[in-house]
Each structure stands twice: as C-alpha cells, then as structure tokens.
Structure 1
Amino acid sequence: MRTESDSPPHRHYKWLVVGGGIHGVSIASRLIGEGIIDGNTNGNNSLLIVDEQQELLYSWKERTRATGMTFLRSAVGFHLDIPAEGLRAFASGYGHNGNKQKQKQKPLSKKAKRQSKNNQHRSKHGLGTSNGYPNAENPDTTTVGRDYQRPSLKMFNDHCDNVIDKYKLMDFHFRGRVESIDVCDEDGGNKPMPLRVVVRNSSGVDADANASGGVRESPPPGTTIVSADNIVLAVGNDDPAVPEWVTHLTSENNGYNYDKSIYHLLQLPNGDPPDAKTNPLYKANTDPNWDDFDRHEPRHVAIIGGGISAVHKALQIASKNSRDEKKALVHIVSRHRVREQQFDTHQDWMMTQQLAQLSLDHGGKGLTKRQRKFGMVESPAERRRIIAGERIPGTVPSYMTRAGTNSLEKAMGEGSISWYVASVARASRNNEATGGAQTASGSTYTLELTNGETVGPLDEIILATGLGKKVPGNRILSPLAASASLPLGPCGYPLVDESLLWKPRMGSTTTSTNIFVAGGLAELELGPSARNIAGARMGAERIARAARRRTASR
C-alpha cells in the first residue's frame, strides 16, 4: 500500500481509480492484465487506486459477512479476473488437500453410490460436491451451488484475493478519500487535460475537524494532491438507508445506541459516513464482532426489510435453533410479501462483450435483444425508466425460499421466522424504570405496525433497508460536472459514451477530459446490471477497449 510519503504533492499518474471495491478492482486488474499499463510497482506512476479502507474489497467482504451470505446470487462466470473461465478454473482446484488421511469406509448403499457418482461428475467439472446438502448449499464442502453454478462466498473472496495478488494491486492502493477533482489550468489544445485530485489521507481524516470555515489558500493538513491523465470513478453509495423512526428511537438515549441493539446490516464496523454526526445510529457498531449473534440468547429479533439481505440474516439466526437448545425468534417486517426471483435483473442484461463475441463465434446473435434495444434509446429519461422497470429490488431467490433444510419456507413453518406485511408506525423502548418487560439482553423494544399488529418484546432491531438513493459519489461528482462542463441526465447521473467516457458538453471551454465512470454511475449506458459483478466486467471491458484504441491511434 502506498502512504503519504510515497505520494508527495503533485505526483502524476497515468491512471487513477477512485474506489477499491468490486468495480475498481475489476478495472485495475484489466488495465494491468491486458498490458495497457505497466504492472511493475517499482517507481511506477502508471496507476493509483484511492480507497479509504485498509484493504481493497474491504466493504464488500464486511457487508457480505454481516448479512450471513454463504453463496453468491450470480453465476460462476462473473468475477474480477480477465479470462471468462477464470473463477471456474479456480474452483476446479479449490479446497483439494492432498494430505488428507484416507479412512476406512463402510460399503456404500445404492443411494450413496448414486450420490458419489454425481459428486465425481460435479468435481470433474469444477462444480464441487453436494455431500447430501439440498441444493448443494453447504459452504464448508461445496464450491459452486448446483443451480446456476453460484460460487460460495468464501471461494469467490479467495479468488478475489488471488486476483489482487496476481496483479499486485495492493502496491497501487493509497488509503484516503477523494475530496475534489478539477481540470488542471493548462492549455491542452485538443488534447485531454490532466486532472488535479485532492485526497484526504485516512490517517488524518479528522486533522482539521475543528478548523473554522472559509476558503483555504493551501491544502489543509492531512491531504495529498496528485494529478492524473485518466480517472475512473468507481464509487458506490456507502450511506445505509435509515428509517426516520429509528432516529426518533435512538434520540431517547441522547443520540447514542449504547448496547448496539439497533444496527444496519450494511454499516461498516469502522465506518464513518459523511452524515455520521447527524445520524445517531452510526455512533455504534465499531466493534468487529458487533453482529455476533451469540451475545445473548434466547434472542428475539426484528429485521426490517424483505429482500435477500434480510432473509440471509434471518436464516443465519434461525439456523442456530437446530444446533442449540436456546431458541431464536426472528420477525421480518416488510412492506411486501416474499418476492421470489432468481436475479434482481433479467440475465439478458448481463451479457458482456466477451460473452457476446463467443456467441457470435458460435453462430449466436451476440448481445441480447434487451441490450441492443437499450443501446438505441437516445433519451436519458427513457433509459432511466427502463432501468427502474427492469431492476427489481427486494427479491429473494428460490434456493433461499423453498430449497433445502435451511430455507425460509421451512423456518416459517417451524415458527422460528415470522413475516409481517407492514411498515413500522411507531417504535418504543422500555426498561425497568418504565415497567417494561425485559428480555435476555436487558433492553426491550416494541414495534407497532401499520397493519395493527405489535411485535415485541425484542432484544434487537436489525435494519436490512439497503443503501441510500443518492447519486454515488455525488459529493465530488456535482462540483466536477459544474466546473468541467460535464453533462448529467435529469436523474443526476453522468451522460457518457459507449466507452463510459464522460465528455464535456459541446462548445464548452473544457475541450476534453479522460474521466470514465463505472458501477452505478454507468447505469445510463450499461443498463440495469451496471451495479452488479456482471456490470463490473462490462465496465472494465469497455474502459480497457477505449484505452487500447487510443494507444493504437497514437
């Protein structure tokens, strides 16, 4: 990892990637892997990845861990390396230990022989084995799920680490947060102008917290200034969506959530979102083990939200009942009934250029009909309407609802999970001083729902309400768009070309800037799957292709 001393003010880079998550890592890997930039880290100014977390993919790993996810929703074909079969090849050799001791086995029954034969076939094709677990959902023994060949989270993360090591991406990581991006004051003619980037170092985030307002003539303490020829904005929306009633509930304790009994699944353990000083919920949850559900049992929990994260967490808690005498009761409060759907967008939106070319090579049509039609739509407002209609939030795949011994259907049938179709009308906290009933945790919550039902007493309230609806990175995006005359759609998202390049408006004083976008910021070009892992591959392909073309034209 680069430090402040490694990056003195005004050091210049060929490429600067803002964001070290799924999209940033995918793009950086492809730029190096395809030879667009030099991957040699010794004195190399070809790449800088700016992310405020201590390691790349930190947010992804922490959030998936917190939800209790064991298998990904997407297929094994979507990953962060360049080869289309990269994760499948990794899976074929994953978890095999040549030092395992051989044990004497009893003769197999006919059923066991059939299962063994199936497992041999699956192992041969890199699909893992089911070992008797319905739907192959045991992450300890299975690498890829049976349906849609979904990788286990552990294997996927190990493959991500392998990719990061392969391209030495940690050597290009600078820990900090981009505060501003400006076009350098240079007369570049028709050439793209370099970009000036101010980065607040994570080690000195609060260095000027008490400074008075006003314009500074020089960089504030704890910042680093660099410049770059090309910038990729691969930022996400890191602010968890918190219902208004939660703010009122925590305000009863002077704004503090002392026992961490109310928390958001997607709030990072050490996270400090921009509005942390105004949202009392964020003042808790700094302990890495804040979601440890062994803290107190029996346990009565309400989970707010009805999507895949809510169900993941509910099943994780309920699964304890089969291994522990203590009973956990989970109450899911959702505005809708269970919405069963395999993916949150149709698979037709996930066709990458690499897969499209393979399709053409084998007599297929390449990009799907949905993608081709979307590409012909000129109106940004119409594109946004299509995205809103095709991307369906709050859905849960059937392998979680109906399949296997650890399914939502089974848990609800046994009474360990209840589902309420309602919103929270009012939440209250009782204690011994007010005569409220006490639970094992020593604190009591009661939820009054809009359907007239009451849920409580509760030990904990877990928010699975997703992330906010703001434009990702809007804090730096809006000023940059205004200063460099970069066009935005009516929804506030960048209007980019097919290579995801954000070009200045026609007739503006800024002739050209090499600013690319990825992830959610690329939605108006890539479509509904832009935020997914498939979208990360699509974005990396397009940016790398644009870079290759530009190099070839010189």
Structure 2
Amino acid sequence: MSTSHTTCEAVESENFYDLIIVGAGPHALAVAARLYEETPSSLYTDVEHQRLHWLRRYSSVPCRACAPPRVLVLDRLGGWMTQWDRQFKAYDIKHLRSPMFFHPDPRDLDSLVAYAETEGRQAELVEINGVVGKELSKHCRKCRQKSKGKTAITRRQSLGVAVNERSRQDYFTPSTRLFRDFCDDVISRYRLENLVQQGAVTEVQYGHVYIKSEDHLSHDAFTLTVEQTGQTVRFGSRALVLATGAGAIPSIPDVLTPTPKRSKTTKHMQHESNAPLPQHEGYCHSSALVTRPFPQNVRTLAIIGGGLTSAQIVNLALKHGVKKVFLLCRSHLKVKPFDVDLDWLGKYQNVQKMAFWQEDDPEARVKQIRGARNGGSITPPYHKILKEHVKRGKLEMLTETQIKAAAWDPEQKRWQLELTSKCALPNHSGNMSLQVDYIVSATGSTMSIEALPFLQNLQASHPVDVVCGFPHITDDLQWNEKVPLFVVGGYAALQLGPGAFNLAGSREAAERIANRLNVLWKESVLAGASADAGYRSAMEELVVGNRYAAFAEDIIV
C-alpha cells in the first residue's frame, strides 16, 4: 500500500477540524450525537445511568477528560436530514417502515417510545401486524418436535415466535412527522444545530497539511476540496466520516440508457451535486422525482421495480391523475414488514449475527447480506393498497417480467416495450408488447465505493480491497489502521451486516466509530491536549466503589 505524501496542502486554521462528517442524514446524526453522549445505552444500564448522573452532580471530578472535539458536518443541501425530508415529501410517505428501536439517539434504545408517550402522540404510531405473537406452550412444542416429516419451517417454528409479547411496544412504526420531531429533539439536546455547513465535496486527500495562522504542520490529516456557493473552499480534519449513502449513484436498466452508463465519465456526472439526475425524455429514475415535479399529461405509466419505492410511486402516480399503471417486477412480489428477514431483528438475531461475524470470507458475507435482504420488498399495508388499485382496474402487476427492448417514439411521445414473462398472466402470457407514455425506474442505487469520484485520489494513495462494491474495512469501520476515514451506511455492510443500509445500523456504526475515535483521542492523535492522568483512575474509583461513600465522613462513630 502506498503511503507516500508528495504534497503539502495548506488550510486556514478556522477551517481545520478534529472531525468532519460528509453527509447530514440519520447515520451522520447518530455519529454526531454519540460523540457528545457521555453515557450511551450500549455501555450503561438504566441503573448505571442513574448512578453516573449522581456522580456528575456531586463529584468534583470533571465528566470529560478533555475539551469536546471541533466537528463539522458538510452536506450539499446544508441542513440536518434535508435530503431525507425531500424524499419523504416527494413520495408522500406518512409512516416509516422501521420499528421504534431504530433511531439515532445514543442515550436510550427506547427513547423514541418515551418521546411519543411524553408528547402524547401515541396515536401517530401504527402497529406492525404479524410480527409479535404468543409463545407456544411446552405441550405444543413437544408435539411439533414429535411430528413426522418436519420441514425446516416447522423446526424453526418449534423454537417459538421471533418476537415475544413483551416486545410489542417496540413493533410500531412512527409517523414521519413524529420521527422528524424526535430527530430535532436529539439535535437540540446535543446542541448540533450549528455543525452543518452547505457544501459539495469534490476531492479528498490524506497527507501533510499546513495549518495557516498557527504555523503548524499536521503530518497526517485530510484535505477536503468543497464547492460552496460558487467558490472552492479547502477544509482540513484529523478524522473523516463518510455518511453520504449510496443514493447518489442510481441504478438504471441498460435497456433505457442510450449510452453505456458504466463508464467513469458517466459515474462522475451522476455523483456531481450540480449534475442533472438521471432522466430522459419519457423516463426518469425514481430519485429524480425528489427534485422535480411529477410528470404531467401522463395517462399510462410503467414502473420498473419490486421494492417499497415502486409501490409508493404507484400510489403517487394515481393521485396525480395517471389513468393506468403497469408495475413490472423481474421476480415475484415479496411482501414482508421489513427490508431484512425478521430473524435479524427478533430475539434470535444473535444467532444470525454470530454466523455472519464468524464468516471470514467477505464474498460469503455478501451472499448472507443479499440472502437476508432478498431483493426489494413491500410492506403488508402497501400490498393492500396495491390490491385495491388492481381491483379498481387502475393497476396491472406484471411479475417475473422483464423488458427485452424499449423504443421511444419522439413524435407520438410514447414508449413501445417488448416484454417477456415467465408466468402466465390473466391477459398475457410469454412475450407481449406494451405502449406507455412514461417510465419510472424504481431500481434503487448502485453500491460501489469505487464509483465515488471524490475518493479517487484517496483510493489511489491508500487503496482498500473492494468486494462487490463494498470496501473491506476494519471492524471499527475504519478505512485501514493508518487512515482514520470511517464509513457508515450501506458501505459498512461487510462489518455490520444487512441492517447497515437502514436505521438499524446507524446506532451500531456510531458506537464503533465513537469508540475508535476515543482511542485515537486519548493517543493525542485527534486532540491537541492529552487527557488528565488522574481522570480515569478517579472515575473508575467512583464508579466501581460505593456510591454512598461520600457520606462516610459525616458519620459519627
């Protein structure tokens, strides 16, 4: 691995930070909040929280060994969760798909439940049906174990339900507004409002950085080239967190693209913040609907994809006056409450995670991730909505169907689609032709860390192995042991598992990164001042010792 530093970049002292987070979504919020939380739920129980609160109140020993870090959050839209807000508004999403324990608050796993109860907004919670069940009796389990010809399903059911009745309160979905207000509460509680600046990162380098006004040379630091309001600004940081997500690289079917989309130039254009979203006359990617109005004067619409976004766009299109919608799915329509199997969320999740973490082969881990997610899926409530549209004759679902050829007629403003299907449909079988006015490709995004243009120089100087688009990073989600670049979201899936793509992995990723940054901080890599030598021993004595020992001097024997 190349570690040579051939240039020395100069950065203004006010633009040099201990940590820069690229992106301002929920994963970035989880990392930022965890950095400022002294007693996270992953380390302390409720009793320990109470005890540490007492210690902070009555102890003269300070609660932090050193000053808080200088943190900057760079986001191309310039606000916490702005892209999140745009997507939910554009797709008219009323409720999240995630359960109540998926959130960015590091203090308490049940804090979203507590927030809803405190604010009196329990009515905004919708129960996730078919998840929580009653435990099987001992007699029923024995009968199933003795039954002949048991299948894998019956053997699995003999263990009992994946989620106990006592966890029912966790398996509700919050409304979009409730979750957003909760995130605002987290931002306010940790005073994170002023951390975000608008800016699009165009290049990242790691090496020597000269800090102006301080006449100081930092040997190991990042230099970020950022486009801000028409001008180029250079920032520096000792550590970097990449929380951009994968949505910047849309995946578009080859049959719709007039030119090859896999070229380096096209990838670069797709990721540039000022570049147009992938769209063409007569079609667009679902991500383009976030920043542009829904297509007008469309009577017939084809939607490609079988995930939740495709179902949301079906509903959205009919609200905008589309007369007929065709949903084209290359496989059968999968219906499940979450985008991962319930075994990864319920009481048996440790079994799945143990098997995942014990696997050393990254390609085998990718197979486990894909198996747990099993492609796109929709929730039971949206499946019910789709069936209502089918009953009304507004929607036709063509499953196990693919587009062989697509031709756009610029004069008629219509598409001629040649389809092939593996299953016999009520009105169609085998090959068929279809004419539509517009196509929306709800085919997700491409996971490829190598396709991010602003990381090209860093990958050239400090390369890492890439498996199926995922970087093979450390267990601490660090680029490597020498480069303090951390990755969250889907790009951390090789270490976190299938939950890394959504809110499930945000708190776990934040915990790993915070622990690693804490180690680097104490080694004086990230902070200019070292920790007080007596701080740790004093705190350990207070925490491990008797909480009532402080009153011992007042006792008269």
TM-score, structure 1 normalization: 0.66
1:87-486 to structure 2, matched below 5 A, reads: 87-94=112-119, 123=122, 128=125, 148-185=171-208, 194-204=220-230, 222-237=231-246, 238-248=248-258, 272-273=274-275, 290-292=292-294, 295-296=296-297, 299-318=299-318, 328-350=323-345, 368-402=350-384, 407-421=385-399, 422-430=401-409, 436=412, 443-451=413-421, 452-456=431-435, 458-471=436-449, 474-484=452-462, 486=463
Question: Following the alignment from structure 1 to structure 2, what is the Cα–Cα distance between the partners of residues 327 and 503?
Answer: 51
Larger relative helix fraction: 2
| Distance change (3 Å), C-alpha of 1:277 and 1:290 | closer
The answer on whether the counterparts of 1:334 and 1:423 sit within 8 Å (CA) in structure 2 is yes
- How much does 1:35 deviate? 8.4
Contact kept, 8 Å, 2:240 with 2:486, in 1: the verdict is yes
2-structure distance, mates of 1:534, 1:158: 19
Q: Which residue identity lines up with residue 340 of structure 1 in the other structure?
A: V
Q: Could you tell me which amino acid in structure 1 is paired with residue 419 of structure 2?
A: L
**Pairing partner for 1:86 from 105, 111, 125:** 111
Q: How far apart are the structure 2 equivalents of 1:200 and 1:301?
A: 39
Q: Is the 8 A contact 1:529 1:535 kept in 2?
A: yes
For 1:47, the equivalent position in structure 2 comes to 71
Within 2, Cα distance between the matches of 1:482 and 1:447?
A: 42
In 1, the alpha carbon distance for the partners of 2:112 and 2:194 equals 23
**8 A contact 1:193–1:229 mirrored in 2:** no
**Distance of aligned partners of 1:392 and 1:159 in 2 relative to their CA distance in 1, 3 Å threshold:** same
Whole-angstrom distance in 1 between the partners of 2:20 and 2:396: 48
1:63 is displaced (CA, Å) by 2.2
Tell me the distance in 1 between the aligned counterparts of 2:273 and 2:368. 33
Within the candidate set 478, 485, 489, 1:515 is matched to 485
Matched residue of 1:180: which SS? strand
Post-superposition offset of 1:45: 6.7
Q: What amino acid sits opposite 1:495 in the alignment?
A: H
Question: Residue in 2 aligned with 1:538?
Answer: 508
Find the counterpart in structure 2 of residue 500 from structure 1.
Answer: 477
Residue 28 of structure 1: aligned partner:
32
The CA distance in 2 between the partners of 1:280 and 1:45, in whole Å, is: 49
Q: Which has the larger radius of gyration?
A: 2
Judge conservation of contact 2:20–2:241 (CA < 8 Å) in 1: yes
1:271/1:337 CA distance change after superposition, 3 Å: farther
1:277 and 1:78 map into 2 onto residues whose CA distance is 33
Change (3 A) 1:11 1:283: same
CA contact (8 A) 1:92 1:127 kept: no
Query: Structure 2 unaligned runs (5+)?
Result: 1-10, 41-66, 131-167, 211-217, 260-269, 422-430, 524-530, 532-557
* Aligned mates of 1:240, 1:296 — CA distance in 2: 25
The aligned residue for residue 252 of structure 1 is none
- Measured in 1, the distance between the counterparts of 2:241 and 2:353 equals 23
Residue 14 (1) aligns with residue 18 (2): yes
Cα distance in 1, alignment partners of residues 198 and 284 from structure 2:
22
Does the Cα contact within 8 Å between 2:282 and 2:408 map onto a contact in 1? no
Deviates more, 1:330-339 or 1:192-201: 192-201
2:339 partner SS: coil
Displacement after TM superposition at 1:370 (Å): 1.4
How far 1:312 moved relative to its partner? 1.4
Q: Over aligned residues, Cα RMSD in angstroms?
A: 4.1
Cα distance in 1 for partners of 2:16, 2:322 equals 59
Change over 3 Å in CA distance of 1:347–1:301 after alignment to 2: same
TM-score (norm 2): 0.66
